[in-house]
Structure 1
Amino acid sequence: MGAGASVSAEVLTVGPNGTYPSLQAALNVAQNNGEDDEIRIQAGLLQTSATATLNENFFLEIIGGWNSSFSSGVDDPSATELTGSQSQRVLSLTINAGQVLVRNLTLADGSANVGGAGADIVVDGNASFELAQCRVLRNAANASTGTGGGGGVRIQQLGNSTAEVGQCLFAQNLVSGGTVSGGGLLVTADDGSFTGNGLTFINNSAFGSVVARGGGLAVDVGGGGDPSATLTRLSVRNNQVVSDAVSEGAGMRVINNPSASGPFVTIEGAEFRGNRRDGSATGASQLEVDAADGNVTLRSIAVVDGNNVSGLGIDAVSTAQVYAINTTAVNNDVDGIRHEDGSNNTQTQYNAVAFGNGVAQFVFGDDGNGNNLSAGNIVAIDPGVIDFANGNYRLSTGSSAIDSCINAPVGGIGLIDADFEARVVGTTVDCGAYEWSADQDQLFSDRFQSD
């Protein structure tokens, strides 16, 4: 996105000491004044239900954390909380042109039908949207018996738009209804590009009487032109899907729909821990990938301690290509890593570590239409981790998985591991999601002993 609003941007102040008493009042000015705008929101708690349609090709910043004179602010999303008071959606933006940046805010206690109780964002054309340094807390979207998604935030991308979410916490958000996706976050992209970086999802839920997908988040790309989604540095913990019919992706669910070109999805550097399935539906995984077209690349993904679920589940059909590199799957109640495939697709699983799971470590299945799976450098026993009993599955000094895998598998090894540290220490990559180093060994040994 751009560097920000210009020095000549109109500054609009919101809060008890501001020019405008509400965010809505400031947006009413910003969406029609024909210039760049910077909306500064005073630190504190502000009851909010704001909506705007932006058609002008200008830059708009909405920034929290300002002092009472609006002369200085803090980079702390907890300083300013916008609350829907459990009765209304906090923020709704339709962005047809220009660039919008929302940062340093907590979006909390929103309530909405269908989705996006904390924020409901539509980005179209060549417009762009960024949500940064945020907290999204305790929002609830209820679709009744219909289709809904994004209990905390829903982002819908159309045209050649771009959207980005970075350095945000999603916690205790809920989506419920018939067919639902994304307890904390739902991203749908027919075209354009989405980027997520430094995101944490804790204790979010998706309750679906028909289908429940993505307890923490769901990413649904394709169906249009050439969409892409790239997610790095993810922590997805203790989220849940609940259904008596169909459950998919207790932590995260990804789907690639057929598109003119693509879609392309990359997830690199992520830990899924303790996500669970409730209800009588079976077959869910912590991370679920359903690919009908395009390319999905999974690098340095840890799926551990899953409750009533498998670790990683991949189902590819048609001409989809799914590349999984450096996966660690440990102590999931069902299987560690599951592959199912249809005709003409390509799947790989390289440099993986899977052990201590409840049923099978690896399931390289076939749904009856052909088998196009390539696998190598698979470790199906404990290679020597720091502390299995207490959930520390990083490699210990002397582990047989250190410097034991290949640097150039199909799809590449990427730059970071599941701890967001350098992917290669030395000359050869380790097996599994966590790269060993002397510093990391001491750090995580001390951390787990002190917990």
Structure 2
Amino acid sequence: MRKSNLTPLLALLLAAPLSHAATWCVRNHTELQQALTAAAASPGDDEIRIREGIYTTFSGTFTYTAQTTGWLWLTGGWYTIDGNDCAQMRMDASRTILDGAGQQRVLKILLMPPAGTTQSTRLGVMNLTLANGYGNSTTFERGGGVQMNSYSDGFTELWLDHVIATHNDGYFGGGADLYAKNGFVRIANSLFDHNDASATAFGHAAITVVTTPGNVSPAIIIANSTFARGHCPGNSGRGCGVGAGLPAGVNLAVLNSLFHDNAISDLNIEGMAVIGAGNGSAAADYSLIPTLSGNLALATTHAFAGDPMFVDPANGNFRLRDASPLINQGLAPLPYYPLGGADLDGNLRVRFGATDPGPYENQTWDRIFVNGFEP
């Protein structure tokens, strides 16, 4: 494995454009919705910093619906230092929870500017847990954990980075529904566990990019993430893991990622030739994807097989045990966007000179004892 020389996570993900309209620090669910509403009305580039804690959707789904194309970063893990609120971020997604309480979807981010809009936009969610969301299947509510949809003609990037999505249910994409009319989607350093699509398919995520510029490839990146225990009825065999819709010119790359114990299939890949949009392509590298479905092939290299040896998958602990054969087997640095310097726990992303697949980097492995203790 090549040793990584990754740039720090925050320098990469929070590097904003030249103009930055506003930064909000929120402490409760009311302030969070107020900040989302204000940011949606802002034409500039905004950041909403959420203090550590639990934020329940008492008054409805946390919603951002914008007609302007300013950037948005929604980030958790913030706390107070020396009386300065939201002065420091702690990289640990488990400490900031947006909770749907099993009653409604957790988070909805929609970009709907006027037709012909050409400005580029990035919408990012980072360092958060999205839990217990419910999207009503009778009203076709997608993305029980998060729905991020861009209908802009301008290029839009949708980012989920350092996110835990767990125990969410939605019509399609129980954990996440990600749609870009023209753009790019990235899921990285994230854990999707025990998400459902109780009426159809894709328990964890449904991803569609309709079109993307010719120089953007791949247009969908799934990197260093784990998708486990997805459930659904299957919807004609589509499966309960991740579903990707790939029209012509749209390419999917799965890197350093692990799929485990998802009903019917782990990854469903579908081209769009049947509706006249042509077929894209998909590739996976240094990943564990036991079961595939869909009408497109997956070009696979350096595939993993067998038991990844998670610490306690039955109870949601998808860190790698010291004896896991996958430790140090990931690709680094990534050939696309770097991963940054922290794993999902906030620990070093690269240990022992290489990267582990999945969102967690084992911190205790010692090559001396890999094959047992020898006196």
TM-score range, shorter chain: 0.5 to 0.7
CA change 1:123–1:392 in 2 (3 A) is: same
Q: Distance in 1 between matches of 2:318 and 2:324?
A: 16
What residue in structure 2 maps to residue 97 of structure 1? 43
- In structure 2, which of residues 185, 194, 210 is the aligned counterpart of residue 238 of structure 1? 194
SS of corresponding position for 2:256: strand
1:183 aligns with 2:152: no
Q: Which amino acid aligns with 1:213?
A: F
Q: Distance in 2 between matches of 1:183 and 1:131?
A: 17
Is residue 326–residue 433 contact of structure 1 (8 Å, CA) maintained in 2? no
CA RMSD after TM alignment: 4.3
Q: Distance in 2 between matches of 1:337 and 1:272?
A: 12
1:297 aligns with 2:250: no
Question: TM-score under structure 1 normalisation?
Answer: 0.56
CA change 1:314–1:419 in 2 (3 A) is: farther
- In structure 1, which of residues 60, 73, 76 is the aligned counterpart of residue 22 of structure 2? 60
Question: TM-score under structure 2 normalisation?
Answer: 0.66
**Structure 1 stretches lacking a partner, 5+ long:** 5-56, 65-79, 143-150, 207-211, 330-335, 356-381, 446-451
What residue in structure 2 maps to residue 353 of structure 1? 304
SS of corresponding position for 2:365: helix
What residue in structure 2 maps to residue 257 of structure 1? 210
Q: Distance in 2 between matches of 1:405 and 1:91?
A: 37
What residue in structure 2 maps to residue 285 of structure 1? 240
What residue in structure 2 maps to residue 268 of structure 1? 223
What residue in structure 1 maps to residue 173 of structure 2? 214
Is residue 351–residue 406 contact of structure 1 (8 Å, CA) maintained in 2? no
Q: Distance in 1 between matches of 2:242 and 2:156?
A: 23
SS of corresponding position for 2:24: strand
Kindly indicate which of the two structures has a greater share of residues assigned to strand.
Answer: 1
Measured after TM superposition, the shift of residue 230 of structure 1 is: 2.2
SS of corresponding position for 2:232: strand
Q: Distance in 2 between matches of 1:96 and 1:135?
A: 25
Is residue 24–residue 35 contact of structure 2 (8 Å, CA) maintained in 1? no
Is residue 63–residue 104 contact of structure 1 (8 Å, CA) maintained in 2? yes
| Bigger-Rg structure (1/2) | 1
CA change 1:417–1:250 in 2 (3 A) is: farther
Measured after TM superposition, the shift of residue 178 of structure 1 is: 3.5
What residue in structure 2 maps to residue 119 of structure 1? 63
1:162 aligns with 2:122: yes
What residue in structure 2 maps to residue 173 of structure 1? 133
Task: Give the count of matched residue pairs.
Answer: 308
CA change 1:90–1:181 in 2 (3 A) is: farther
**Structure 2 stretches lacking a partner, 5+ long:** 1-12, 77-95, 114-118, 273-277, 371-375
Measured after TM superposition, the shift of residue 276 of structure 1 is: 1.4
> CA offsets per residue over residues 280-321 of structure 1, 9 Å max, x none?
865323122221132221111111122x33222223453413
Q: Which amino acid aligns with 1:179?
A: F
Q: Which amino acid aligns with 1:109?
A: T
Measured after TM superposition, the shift of residue 195 of structure 1 is: 2.4
Q: Distance in 1 between matches of 2:229 and 2:295?
A: 26
- Give aligned-pair identity as a percent: 13
